[in-house]
Amino acid sequence: MRRDVDLQRKILFFLEDHLPPASILSEPIRIEGYDYATVLAHTELLIEDGLVDGKMLYAALGPLQASVNKLTSRGHDAIAAVRNDTVWGNAKKYAAEHGVAFTMNILVQVATSLTKGLLHLPPG
């Protein structure tokens, strides 16, 4: 499997829209155009990266379900950084032009830096 940062972004948006404020996600994460196994694998990456608080439930052949409790503070910050489609596209373009690996955490940092530049804020 190859990491799909666009799918990870869509999963974060799905969770933002569907997670109840005080309980766990009660429905499977469904993203149009992606099979459930791929969505689960990318949800697991978001959990491992600390953007999502949750755990994976496994069966003999691999992940069966994601039990998602909440978006972490880092997850909310990531959503804020990559919400704008233009900023997201520019972050991916910048990373590609500079030979940077496409990880969600790197793209969030690039998007944040680009946004700070647009707002004429000091880096850091």
CA geometry: angle 82, 5, 58, nearest 5 deg = 120
Question: Which two three-digit tokens encode residue 10?
Answer: 């869509």
41 backbone dihedrals φ, ψ, rounded to 5°: -60, -40
pLDDT tens per residue across span 65-97: 999 999 999 999 999 999 999 999 999 998 899
First-to-final CA distance of the chain:
34
Q: Look up the pTM and report it.
A: 0.89
- In 10 A of CB 41, how many CB atoms? 19
Beta bridge partners of 52: 71
For CATH 1.10.10, list the domain ranges present in the chain: 5-71
**CATH match of 5-71 with 1.10.10:** yes
Strands (E), 1-124: 52-59, 62-71
